[in-house]
Structure 1
Amino acid sequence: MGRLSELRTHVNYELEMIPDPKIRTGAVSHLYGVSLAATMLAKKRGLDPELASMAAMLHDLWAYKNGSYEDHAHRGAALAREILEGLGLTSPEETDVICSAIYHHDDKLTVDGPMEELLKDADVVHHCMNDLSKAVKEKEKARFENLCKEFGME
């Protein structure tokens, strides 16, 4: 089993513990949707698609497990580190890359490093494309417009 598959098995187990089926289904949809977007963006931008996908699979896990988005990016980074170190799937350097991306993923108006930007953008892709009837959030508008240009969807 590959690293990403092993991580997904762990995340799936964590998500099965969510008692509300609607929240559980939303969590699966969002984490897998952002993971797919992250893989595509990583391939396009010349970044590591496996690490990008792993970061995406973990980026909101803390929020779903705890039912709160309060400081979820920072708390989620700590949970991701715990999971990655516990499973032994990544080197310390890879863990740092993944956790930094998660730590910064909610700072949509700030520009950070390439992997942080990739995770922010993958999150925005899913937020904006998953339900086209919803308005784009103000803090995500510029980022979404840039993504549309990047993919020739102007």
Structure 2
Amino acid sequence: MKKFRIIQDCVNNMLKESKDKNEIMYGTLRLNGTCLFAKLLAQRRKLDVELCAIAAMLYEYGIYKIKEEVNTRVCAAEVERLMRVQGCFTREEIELVSKMILNCRNYHEQGDAYEELLKDADILFRYLYIGSMEGVELYKSRIHKVLRELNIE
């Protein structure tokens, strides 16, 4: 989890730059919530836990930074740049995380196991944070599938 800590420190430092305390609190909640769900699902699905956590953190940071109207292409490009600057990621790791982020909003298109994990972690956070299906009505079947997987019904 060394690479995750590097990214976490980097993102935390960027969050500290904000002057809006509410924005910082919500950003931190969203970053950590989606990241924890990504770790949980990655362990369950036997995927690379660290890369899934990094993808979730960077995806949510992209949303926080660019706001809700996130363009996943812009977000993925920013993530690639950030990961390269750190100097500890392989080309394959950067490409995988970038692809996960690029396709995260394509909820109705089937992606690979990593892409699906980020979609599931994102929608699970939204569902549990909101506390109902309101606002996530379009994603009902995905939420039900993830909740069944986690034995939560």
The answer to whether TM tops 0.5 is yes
In the TM superposition, 1:103-118 aligns within 5 A as 103-118=102-117
Report the counterpart of residue 93 of structure 1 in structure 2: 92
Moved more, 15-24 or 129-138: 129-138
How many matched pairs?
A: 153
Moved more, 128-137 or 87-96: 128-137
Report the counterpart of residue 130 of structure 2 in structure 1: 131
CA distance, structure 2, for counterparts of residue 49 and residue 57 of structure 1: 12
CA distance, structure 2, for counterparts of residue 131 and residue 65 of structure 1: 21
Is this contact kept in 2: 1:77–1:99, CA < 8 A?
yes
Report the counterpart of residue 73 of structure 2 in structure 1: 74
Taking structure 1 as the reference length, the TM-score comes to: 0.92
Displacement over 4 Å in runs of 4+: none
Please give the per-residue CA displacement for 1:74-97, whole angstroms capped at 9, x wherever unaligned: 211111101000001210001111
CA distance, structure 2, for counterparts of residue 72 and residue 89 of structure 1: 26
Letter in 2 for 1:38: A
Residue identity over aligned pairs, in percent, reads 28
Where does structure 2 lack aligned partners over 5 or more consecutive residues? none
Please tell me the root mean square deviation across aligned C-alpha atoms, in Å.
Answer: 1.6
Letter in 2 for 1:11: V
Moved more, 107-116 or 68-77: 68-77
Question: Aligned-pair distance for 1:71?
Answer: 4.1
Query: Are positions 1:54 and 2:18 aligned together?
Result: no
Report the counterpart of residue 29 of structure 2 in structure 1: 29
